[in-house]
Structure 1
Amino acid sequence: MINSIQQSYVANAALNTNKTDKETKINETQKMENDKVSKIAQEVKDGTYKIDLKATASAMADSLI
């Protein structure tokens, strides 16, 4: 039979693993977003950034509905 101390340890270990996984996913997402922003900023600076007019118009129309 598992005593309360062992149960607590197992529960805390599971929570720490989930927290670490969540932090890792957050860090990866932030890095991806930063990379994307840096790429767009460089394209704007170089004058090579192209706006997707269809996607922009669609998003604007959707926001009005």
Structure 2
Amino acid sequence: MINPIQQGYVASSTLNTAQTNKETKTNDTQKTENDKAARIAEQIKNGTYKIDTKATAAAIADSLI
């Protein structure tokens, strides 16, 4: 027979692990986005930022479909 207390512990442990994994992925994504934004800001400041017009046009066209 399974003790209900143990079931709650297992479910809680799994939930905490899933939450921790989600937070880690979120933090990693946020760090990547911050790094990318900083890189672009530096390029704009230096006058070296180039807009990829083909990629921009393709993204706009895809969003309209």
TM-score by length of 2: 0.89
* Identity score, percent: 68
Counting only pairs closer than 5 Å after superposition, residues 1-65 of structure 1 correspond to structure 2 as: 1-65=1-65
Unaligned runs of 5+ in 2: none
Q: Which ranges of structure 1 fall in alignment gaps of 5 or more residues?
A: none
TM-score, normalised with respect to structure 1: 0.89
List 4+ stretches of structure 1 deviating above 6 A.
none
Q: How much is the aligned-residue C-alpha RMSD, in angstroms?
A: 1.2
Partner Cα separation in structure 2 for residue 7 and residue 64 of structure 1: 49
Q: How many residues align?
A: 65
Partner letter of residue 9 of structure 1? Answer: Y
1:64 CA drift (Å): 4.0
